[in-house]
Chains A and B, each alone.
Chain A
């Protein structure tokens, strides 16, 4: 559903079928709704068989990178000589994204089932679910669901009588967006500062405590049970445009639409359908100005650009942006683009871990320049400077946080130049920004 609104006909409800249904939170409730069938099937298969099914389904990581999930699982060593770990990335912090929270608070067992199947597929006995510290209610719900699952034999030393051990540990974050980066998350679980690690080594070779580790997003894992039950072909068939983007995606639409919420649609659904039809379009008297389609770390799209854009990895890339996490920030013509770009830059400056020079200093400098432009003290060369800084901040760091700061800045200057010029020319009234 366009949760919290009633579901729309153009949605395809797989993961979100039970959003809003408190009965789905319990083990029994989930089983009644068809749950844990996938896990039971997976336990009767070998690791390789499960991996092949997920590979064939075409499922790609839903956290933002879009890496093929089955392929990622296949990187784990075939022989278990050191403990293997599965980490579930529930650190959802990408501005504009709020889908994982719904999955956890309405259907925690959907997630747990997916985790358990994944753990089986990668040879892991222990799963760490890293949930951001701010998700207080979700943490309670998830913890209760874990206890429920243990009581019901879905987790523990003998999952559903298979002899297999699968344990879940829920690990709370404490306020750091960067911990959503997979290597930073591992450092955080290990009890360190959430600094991203250099790769190689890759997590599948040396991850948590130098042991083979796979990190998957909540939405990715939630799909696994369905794929096991309904088959890879079914999932692959959910595809409206590029064959490389299959299945459904929860698009978290927020900002200036009539009905913000989570919309589950088949990959390749046209973006204009989502914005104008399913979300009810703009508020009265307003026109669409911009959409950031994949969480704030991707280039901004103009209203014109969304007109013929298929919402899948390839379709949005063809329009010069990225599907990312699918967190769609919709901005109408009341939006001050310059101000919002400044606010995003400030977000990245707050969240920078401080390791890499370009990110540590560049995000803060970018923010200050934008604040100064807004305050009416901008100079003609500031835009060229911002673009040059963005170039210096792209492709040069351990992780992509600094690239993520650069993306909205570059795209905004390119596509909304007039708004910047208005501040530079002093034709727009300055905005004093609280520092």
Chain B
């Protein structure tokens, strides 16, 4: 599933942002600063800060990594090491709606791979990790989502949907423009 092996800065940073607008201004800045008293170090606010960036921008760009580093007093290298460790952070833009289908064994034996095929087909994405031509969807397989008794669970953006079958897929997709 992991696609091309890690390829270092010269290759991963193909997405260049012409004029980067900082994320941590105004209300977002206030939300981050409200977290500071909850931890003894700024560094501990790193995962929450990265979530805020992803909520605002949809992905975490190299410039955003630089901004987060500066705001929290860390180095960009350090922040990048953290970003690339956690699979939920996107390091490149994805479709407007990000679809994560669990295919680990408990769901696998309940037909999860057919669910994946259905999503790939009905979104028009064609292959895992690719964004559909209209920019609407990206579909990936993920590991155990922690709802094994409700096979197959699917996470679309922030919506955790239980019991997805191939038949339900077209109807589910209707709700995501």
**Contact, chains A and B (beta carbon distance below 8 A):** yes
Chain A residues engaging chain B, CB cutoff 8 angstroms = 4, 83, 92-98, 100-101, 132-137, 167, 169, 171-177, 188-194, 209, 252-256, 260-262, 296, 327, 329, 331, 334-335, 339-340, 343-344, 346-347, 350-351, 353, 434-435
A351 touching B40, Cβ below 8 Å:
no
A171 touching B47, Cβ below 8 Å:
yes
Given known A136-B159, A335-B109, A347-B105, contact A261–B82 (CB-CB < 8 A): no
**For residues 18 through 55 of chain B, which have their beta carbon under 8 Å from a beta carbon of chain A?**
38-41, 43-48, 50-51
**Residue contacts A-B, CB under 8 angstroms, 15 given:** A4-B150, A95-B143, A97-B148, A101-B146, A134-B142, A134-B160, A169-B38, A190-B44, A191-B41, A191-B47, A191-B82, A254-B149, A254-B151, A334-B109, A339-B108
Write out the residue numbers on chain A whose beta carbons fall within 8 Å of the beta carbon of B81: 193
Task: Mark B91-122 against chain A: 1 for CB-CB distance below 8 A, else 0.
Answer: 00000000010011110111000000000000
A350 touching B1, Cβ below 8 Å:
yes
Give CA–CA (A172, B52) in the complex, Å: 11
Give CA–CA (A86, B84) in the complex, Å: 28
Give CA–CA (A173, B88) in the complex, Å: 9
A343 touching B147, Cβ below 8 Å:
no
Give CA–CA (A101, B146) in the complex, Å: 7
Given known A329-B106, A343-B108, contact A175–B160 (CB-CB < 8 A): no
Contact of B148 among A100, A167, A329 (CB under 8 A): A329
B143 touching A255, Cβ below 8 Å:
no
B85 touching A262, Cβ below 8 Å:
no
Write out the residue numbers on chain B whose beta carbons fall within 8 Å of the beta carbon of A256: 109-110
Q: Give the size category of B's interface with A.
A: 35 or more
Give CA–CA (A209, B43) in the complex, Å: 11
Give CA–CA (A209, B44) in the complex, Å: 10
Write out the residue numbers on chain B whose beta carbons fall within 8 Å of the beta carbon of A340: 105, 108-109
Write out the residue numbers on chain B whose beta carbons fall within 8 Å of the beta carbon of A252: 148-149
The smallest C-beta distance from A37 to any residue of chain B, in angstroms, reads 28
B2 at the interface (CB under 8 A from A): yes
Query: Which residue of chain A has the shortest Cβ distance to B3 in the bound complex?
Result: A435
Give CA–CA (A194, B82) in the complex, Å: 8
Given known A193-B85, A347-B143, contact A96–B48 (CB-CB < 8 A): no
Can you list the 7 inter-chain pairs with the closest CB atoms, starting with the nearest? Answer: A175-B88, A174-B86, A191-B46, A254-B148, A175-B87, A191-B43, A260-B149
B144 touching A94, Cβ below 8 Å:
yes
Given known A209-B41, A331-B109, contact A134–B146 (CB-CB < 8 A): yes
B145 at the interface (CB under 8 A from A): yes
Write out the residue numbers on chain A whose beta carbons fall within 8 Å of the beta carbon of B164: none
The smallest C-beta distance from B48 to any residue of chain A, in angstroms, reads 7
Contact of B104 among A4, A194, A347 (CB under 8 A): A347
Write out the residue numbers on chain A whose beta carbons fall within 8 Å of the beta carbon of B40: 83, 209
The smallest C-beta distance from A138 to any residue of chain B, in angstroms, reads 8
Give CA–CA (A190, B48) in the complex, Å: 11
Given known A175-B87, A209-B41, contact A93–B146 (CB-CB < 8 A): yes
Given known A93-B143, A95-B105, A188-B47, contact A261–B149 (CB-CB < 8 A): yes
The smallest C-beta distance from B169 to any residue of chain A, in angstroms, reads 18
A189 touching B44, Cβ below 8 Å:
yes
A172 touching B86, Cβ below 8 Å:
no
Write out the residue numbers on chain A whose beta carbons fall within 8 Å of the beta carbon of B51: 133, 172, 174
